[in-house]
C-alpha cells in the first residue's frame, strides 16, 4: 500500500489535462491521487508544480510524456522527496533533461515505453533513463505513445508500493 503520508500525483502530458484518459482512469483506481492541470513551457509548468509539491514531504509520482519529464526533473532535484516514480513514455529527450542530464539518483523508477511510440523515441529515452536512474525497471511494451492498453491493464496499487 502507498504510505499514508505520501502525496500521490499524476502529471499529464503536453496536450492533455486533468480530464484526459489517464487522469480519469487513475482517479478511478487511486481515489487519493491529485491530477492538476499544467500549462506553458517546462519552466512554467515546474513553477506551477512547486507549490503543490510543498504540501507533502514525500511523493509517489506518475508522469506521462511531458508530465514524465516534469516528474523526472522533480525527482532529480529532490530525490529524497520521491518514494516512487512511474513514467509513461517520458519525454526525457527534451531539454533540459537531455541537454544537461542530471546526476544519477537512486529513486525507484519504473518506465513503460511503447515500441510503436512515434512521439517520444524509445532508444534515446532508455539510454538517458539508464544513465540517470540507478534503480530503474524499464518495460518495452506492445503499445503506442498513448499507452492506453498498458495503462488500463496495470495493477496500480502494486506498482506504487515502495
Helix 66-77 and helix 42-53: axis angle, to 10°?
60
| DSSP 8-state assignment for residue 49 | H
Quick one: pLDDT at residue 89? 98
Q: 37: how many CB neighbours lie within 10 A of its CB?
A: 13
Residue 55, pLDDT above cutoff 80: yes
pTM: 0.95
Q: Could you give the domains of the chain?
A: 7-159 (3.40.50.1820)
Q: For 73-127, how does the pLDDT look when each residue is reduced to its tens digit (9 = 90+)?
A: 999 999 999 999 999 999 999 999 999 999 999 999 999 999 999 999 999 999 9
Residue 4, pLDDT above cutoff 60: no
Q: How far apart, in whole angstroms, are the C-alpha atoms of residue 18 and residue 98?
A: 26
Quick one: pLDDT at residue 3? 45
Amino acid at each position: 500500500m502507498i504510505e499514508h503520508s505520501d502525496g500521490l500525483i499524476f502529471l499529464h502530458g503536453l496536450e492533455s489535462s486533468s480530464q484526459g484518459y489517464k487522469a480519469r482512469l487513475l482517479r478511478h483506481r487511486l481515489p487519493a491521487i491529485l491530477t492538476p492541470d499544467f500549462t506553458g513551457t517546462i519552466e512554467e509548468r515546474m513553477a506551477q508544480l512547486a507549490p503543490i509539491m510543498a504540501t507533502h514531504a514525500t511523493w509517489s509520482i506518475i508522469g506521462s510524456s511531458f508530465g514524465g519529464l516534469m516528474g523526472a526533473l522533480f525527482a532529480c532535484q529532490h530525490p529524497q522527496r520521491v518514494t516512487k516514480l512511474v513514467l509513461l513514455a517520458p519525454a526525457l529527450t527534451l531539454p533540459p533533461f537531455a541537454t544537461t542530464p542530471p546526476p544519477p539518483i537512486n529513486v525507484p523508477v519504473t518506465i513503460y515505453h511503447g515500441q510503436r511510440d512515434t512521439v517520444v523515441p524509445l532508444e534515446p529515452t532508455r539510454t538517458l533513463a539508464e544513465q540517470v536512474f540507478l534503480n530503474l525497471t524499464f518495460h518495452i511494451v506492445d503499445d503506442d505513445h498513448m499507452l492506453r492498453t498498458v495503462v488500463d491493464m496495470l495493477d496500480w496499487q502494486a506498482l506504487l508500493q515502495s
